Amino acid sequence: RQSPLANQKVAEGSTVTIVVSTGPAKVNVPNLVGKSKEEADSILAGLGLEPDVSYTVDPAHVGKVVDQNPPAGTEVEEGSQVEIVVGRLP
C-alpha cells in the first residue's frame, strides 16, 4: 500500500508513504487441555486460529480437551489449525 497511488504525480520534496507487510501475524498456541470444547473453540477463534476437532473415548473427560497439537506455547501463524482431541462416551 502506498500514498500517493502509483503513477500519481507529486511535487518534488513531497512525502510518500509506503506500507510493507511483514507477513501473517504470529500467535502462541494456548494450553487448551482440560477446557471444554466450547471454551477451546472460543479461545482459538479469539486468537484467529482454527480448531480441528477429533474425539476419543474418555468417559472421565467427556466434552473436555484431552490433547492438542501443536502443544501450548508453540508459535504459529494466525489462521493456522490447532488439533484438539475431545473426550466422549463409548
Write the pLDDT tens digit of every residue in 75-84: 999 999 999 9
Q: Identify the CA nearest to 30 among candidates 48, 17, 16, 18.
A: 48
Q: Where are the domains of the chain?
A: 23-88
CA distance linking residue 24 with residue 85, whole number of Å:
26
Helix (H, G, I), strand (E, B) or coil at 67: strand
pLDDT digits (tens, 9 = 90+) for 35-70: 999 999 999 999 999 999 999 999 999 999 999 999
Name the helix (H) or strand (E) containing 76.
strand 75-77
Q: What is the CATH number of domain 23-88?
A: 3.30.10.20
Q: What is the pLDDT of residue 21?
A: 81
CA distance linking residue 23 with residue 5, whole number of Å:
22
